[in-house]
Structure 1
Amino acid sequence: MPPELVILSLVVVTSLAFDFTNGFHDTANAMATSIATKAFKPKTAVTLSAILNLVGAFLSVEVALTVTNSVVNIQDSSGAPRPELLQDGGQELLLIVLAGLVGAIIWNLITWLLGLPSSSSHALFGGLIGATLVGLGASGVNWLGDGTKPDGVIGRVVLPALMSPLIAIVVATVGTWLVHCITRHVLARYRDTGFRWGQIGSASLVALAHGTNDAQKTMGIITLALIASGRWTDLQQVPLWVKVACALAITLGTYTGGWRIIRTMGKGLVELTPPQGMAAEFSTASVILISSHMGFALSTTHVATGSILGSGVGKKGAKVNWWVAAKMMAAWCITLPSAALMGALMWLIGHTIGGLAGALVISALLVASAIWMYRHSLRTRVDHNNVNEEWSDNGSVTAPQPAEPLPVAAHAAAQDAFAELEKLEPHTELELAEAR
């Protein structure tokens, strides 16, 4: 088998692995609020989210084309791939894509282990940008497009990242305030029951929107790799098998749950009520769907987190955990540069070794890192059984402690004392009962 075909296969497999991590990393975006308010049982929530992610992945290709055409500058003025990048079956460009994916997955796993809802999208773009910068130089990154419209990394990635959480906060704040104004005279138990039913629809809409936006990013990466290897030439379409594979990968990832991040978003930011949860979910869905239609590859994590914060701000007397929010925002700020550093490091390792061997080495590093982090996660397991436990200051989950039994020595002493009492004369049944 030609080396470039093996590297292409590694890129496809690693892309689907990233799609899988994207699924379990971002399940919280759709279902954390519904699980926290008990509108859904945890396993029911992730199952529904997985199904709707699968459906959403087929609704559009605008975001996939953004990833293919607006991040790495591989095209000449005519729109065709640059000939110098397609030499040797496009091995250099394939190594850049592979290194970027490995960097993105490692960062996704680190933030999952810490329970931080950072952006999978920014991890992906950061990994690609870092690998491209060291592989092709600054000119290899499509920073601004042709300048006639918002395009490139700045217009399609950075600006939406800055604007989308702010818009989501405003929409969710207004929505939560309106909901509580309209329903202020309704008894709390009836109001909460009604809004839990409403959350079935709103959470489903978020899951559908997530599939529409996030599954396409991996479609764009695989299409980019196919273009680099000369096996695809249409810059305005995505192969059908790529759509199906990516949709299935993100669905399987979503079904596994990503419980650590669900817990942080559902319990760590705001103690949510059903009206707040429904307002946050509708805010998230509306921002994501509009952005997907416009081809903006925004972070669904940023939008969902902004909506949850807005639902806390919009309810009078609600308590927002600003310390957890600050940690999340810090993770947002460092995700893209951190993933870029990892992508650059992976490319340097692969390029130094060279060829197929370099690609195999960085793939092996990814597998080893994933195994280590998974084994480490088992020390503090979070799953559907304890995801809704009360939030502690450090976010840990502690099992409820059983009542402390009577110390053995004291129990034995009490038994001996009663035995001595029974030997005393005279005593009646009433006296014995009182002694007991």
Structure 2
Amino acid sequence: MTSTLLIVVVILAIAFDYINGFHDAANSIATVVSTKVLTPFMAVLWAAIFNFAAYFYFTDHKVANTIAKTVLEEYITLEVIFAGLVAAISWNLFTWYYGIPSSSSHTLIGGFAGSGMAYAWIMGANPLIAVNQSAILKTVSFIVLAPILGMFISVIITLIIMNLARRARPAVAEKWFKICQLISSAALSFAHGGNDAQKVMGIIATALIAEQVIPDFEAMPAWVPLSCYIAIAAGTMSGGWKIVKTMGTKITKVTPLEGVAAETAGAVTLGVTEHFGIPASTTHTITGSIIGVGVVKRVSAVRWGVTISLLWAWILTIPVSAILGGLSLAVIHFIL
């Protein structure tokens, strides 16, 4: 029974990674599609290639390690991991269906934490002691910090580009910005793959440790990162067109120049957070970057009503996923 459940958990985790790919594809391709630099099909193919390419560079797995430590070891069972994944997949599919660019990262963390807390409660312990509060605090803080950092960097990059290109002929500048956007979108996809694939790696490694298949995180077998990067790249190939529309056109109108700035800012922000092992949200980061390029034009260029709606989705993601994780664990516990 245990080995069967472990196989189910691994399959479910890889399925979440695939869903994460098509849910978050919009983050990587929204601006490059909205500026018509690439067709939608070529954009998802381009993004998928660089999502997978990150496998060869991001080998420290710091983000995966942070995810693995979300719930304290004594409150981790396969049932807890299973319930967390069920919650994360449910919320991801719900937000994808309604075109809401919520964070897959925070969905996974919330579901896992919620199921761990429910398990502690069932065992008669204080639910709050089941989670690594420093890891949760670090993740929650970047709900605010990631978009602000992305916005700040995108404003600086936009101003630098505008000053460097102020004497260029508009037609020539437009051509070069479209070429540069291929590079910046590739960089964003590369950073997205490196950050997001690791989150599922952490979950699978946790399951393997819980079943004593491996002794610790450092002993994670090579097939885990490889399968996670393949899954997220395959998911990206499936696209996420409803969210592309929200990200690429509803926040603000994006030109190739602004696309370069937003994507570069997003890639830099994700690279920095990965270096420090922080599971930052690609969705939050690129949204902040797009807002930044809009603000440079004028504050009214940003559709703040849409932005506020997104903010509510960001705030609700972790608590709603945690509740779903807790309910899923309760159902599984009393059935099994």
TM-score norm. by structure 1 comes to: 0.73
RCO comparison, higher one (Cα < 8 Å, 6+):
2
- Separation in structure 1 between the aligned mates of residue 221 and residue 155 of structure 2, nearest angstrom: 41
Does structure 2 retain, via aligned residues, the 8 Å contact 1:172–1:314? no
Whether contact under 8 Å (1:175, 1:314) holds in the other structure is: no
Deviation of the 1:204 alpha carbon: 0.3
Pick from 181, 190, 195 the counterpart of residue 172 of structure 2. 190
Contact 2:110/2:322 (CA < 8 Å) preserved in 1? Answer: yes
What is aligned with 1:37? 35
2:128 to 130, 135, 138: 138
Task: Give the alignment of 1:155-170 within 5 angstroms.
Answer: 155=138, 157-170=139-152
- Per-residue CA shift, 1:334-378, capped at 9, x if unaligned? 000011111111111111111xxxxxxxxxxxxxxxxxxxxxxxx
Where does residue 113 of structure 2 map in the other structure? Answer: 129
Equivalent residues in 2 for 1:68-147, closer than 5 Å: 68-69=68-69, 71-74=70-73, 82=74, 93-136=77-120, 137-144=127-134
Equivalent residue, structure 1, for 2:325 = 343
3-state SS of paired residue (2:217)? coil
- The Cα shift of 1:153 comes to 1.5
| Aligned counterpart, 1:227 | 209
Distance across 2 between alignment mates of 1:233 and 1:262: 41
Is the helix fraction higher in 1 or 2? 2
Post-superposition offset of 1:317? 7.7
CA distance in 1: counterparts of 2:91 and 2:212, whole angstroms: 30
Question: What's the RMSD between the two structures over aligned residues?
Answer: 1.4
Please report how far the alpha carbon of residue 244 of structure 1 lies from its aligned counterpart in structure 2 after TM superposition.
Answer: 1.3
Letter in 2 for 1:18: F
Larger Rg, first or second structure (1 or 2): 1
Looking at structure 1, the residues matched to 306 and 145 of structure 2 have their Cα atoms a distance apart, in angstroms, of: 21
Q: Distance in 2 between matches of 1:56 and 1:314?
A: 31
1:243 is paired with a residue whose SS is: helix
Cα deviations by residue, 1:203-251 (Å, 9 ceiling, x for unpaired): 0000000111000000000000000011011223431011111111111
Aligned length: 328
Counterpart position of 1:176: 158
2:77 is paired with a residue whose SS is helix
Aligned partner letter, 1:344: G
Q: Distance in 2 between matches of 1:161 and 1:271?
A: 24
Match of 1:9 in 2: 7
- Could you tell me how far apart the structure 1 residues matched to 2:320 and 2:169 are? 48
Residue of structure 2 in register with 1:287 after alignment: 269
Cα separation, 1, equivalents of 2:308 and 2:299: 20
Give a deviation string over 1:70-112, Cα, whole Å, max 9, x none. x0110xxxxxxx4xx6xxxxxx710011100110111011111
Cα shift at 1:179: 1.9
Supply the AA of the counterpart residue of 1:109. L
Structure 1 position 209 matched with structure 2 position 191:
yes
> In structure 2, what residue type is equivalent to 1:42?
P
Contact kept in structure 2, 1:202 and 1:281, CA below 8 Å: yes
Q: Percent identity?
A: 38
Contact 2:143-2:314 at 8 Å conserved across structures: no
2: CA distance between counterparts of 1:7 and 1:17?
15
CA distance in 1, matches of 2:232, 2:188: 15
- Give the secondary-structure state (helix, strand or coil) at the position aligned to 1:115: coil
How far apart are the structure 1 equivalents of 2:299 and 2:108? 38
CA distance in 2 between counterparts of 1:230 and 1:24 reads 32
Residue of structure 2 aligned with 1:28, choices 22, 26, 29: 26
Deviation at 1:160, TM superposition (A): 2.4
- Alpha-carbon distance, 1:67 to partner: 1.2
Give the counterpart letter for 1:65 in structure 2. N
Q: CA deviation at 1:316?
A: 4.3
CA contact (8 A) 1:29 1:301 kept: yes
For structure 1, the 5+ residue unaligned runs are 75-81, 86-91, 145-151, 355-436
Unaligned runs of 5+ in 2: 121-126
User: Which secondary structure does the structure 2 equivalent of 1:57 belong to?
Assistant: helix
What letter matches 1:64 in structure 2? A
